[in-house]
Structure 1
Amino acid sequence: MEHMKVRRVVTGHDFQGKARVVDDRDVEPITSGLMPDCAAYRLWGRDERPTLPDDGSPHRAEAYYPPRDGSRFMINTIPPGELVPPTNVDTAAALAELERQMPGAMAAMEPDAPGMHTTDSLDYVLIVSGEVTLELDDGERTVLRAGDVVVQNGTRHAWRNHGTETCMIVGVAIGADRV
């Protein structure tokens, strides 16, 4: 499957305080043989609360999900059907590659409930295209379509595409304290 082109434009302030475009480039998708036809685009992130003015240079954002006071901006595409890796995938190598590209993401996944995960974040999610089912505890399911939004308050969940076309989700995750 060919993945879409995603262009990221970043603004910042120059040394005189004037607004400028400081970066303009395509963002390459993260893909894995473990999740055929899925793609994740890490668009921006930071591990600390922002201060302004900002020169627009990248900040530390190592882990895939944000720490307290951190944030992440991402796009995910989910193909229809069950995510079944081909039998010839080297699982250990694919997991190592995912950990390099999306540090900590697989650790949030529940090994005995594929796709289920919980993060310490408040997530704002927009369904851009296609259809996806949000699955919560006890099998509660909500079908979402283009234009729907989800405010994900750190709950255990999974995204499942039971539709007929690839679903695109845009999300902003803001790190939170879990007490």
Structure 2
Amino acid sequence: MVDDGGVPAITSALLPGAAAYRLWGRDERPAFPDDGSPRSAESYYPPPDGSRFMINRIPPGELVPAPGVDVAAALAELDQLMPGAMACNDPDEPGMHTTDSLDYVLVVSGEITLELDDGESTVLRAGDVVVQNGTRHGWRNHGTEPCTIVGVAIGADRIA
């Protein structure tokens, strides 16, 4: 199957300037032969044996909603567009999140700081690659231009 259609951006008034593009996903382990047609991918992040392929655009600065944004309505909309994603976020530290997945991330453009649970942070630029192993982390754009990252998330079991 071939599809060259556009992928709509997932945006929110809670995250002005940010956009997520969910390109592909499946909730089960692949088996071949496979006709290549889209599979079920209910939650935003994959379950064990599932996978997701996505692009994220992160604007520079703090992601602060504009005054007057109905936060409850915006959260409900995000939960509909990105099922389960908000539950992975740390309510005490905005932007920090943990997923039960092995993530391969490529910085395509711009600059981004990856913050880890232990307080360590690393600045990444276009061409840099990160392999994230289910650790708590956050992405911060301290630069002046939007950053685009491409990621593949493979669902994993968390045993501890």
TM-score by structure 2 length?
0.97
The structure showing larger relative contact order (alpha-carbon pairs under 8 Å, at least 6 residues apart) is: 2
Runs of 4+ with deviation above 3 angstroms: none
Please state if 1:130 is matched with 2:121: no
Please state if 1:35 is matched with 2:4: no
Pick the structure with greater CA Rg.
1
User: CA offsets per residue over residues 41-67 of structure 1, 9 Å max, x none?
Assistant: 010000001112222221110100000
- Selected match of 2:138 from 158, 162, 167: 158
| Root mean square deviation, CA, Å | 0.8
Question: How many percent of aligned residue pairs carry the same amino acid?
Answer: 79
- The alpha carbon displacement at 1:138 in A equals 3.3
The corresponding residue for 1:67 is 47
The 5 A counterparts of 1:1-179 are 12=1, 21=2, 23-179=3-159
Any gaps of 5 or more consecutive residues in structure 2? none
Alpha-carbon separation, structure 1, partners of 2:106 and 2:62: 22
User: CA offsets per residue over residues 52-86 of structure 1, 9 Å max, x none?
Assistant: 22222211101000000000000000000011100
User: CA offsets per residue over residues 109-136 of structure 1, 9 Å max, x none?
Assistant: 0111000000000000000000000001
SS at match of 2:6: strand
TM-score by structure 1 length?
0.87
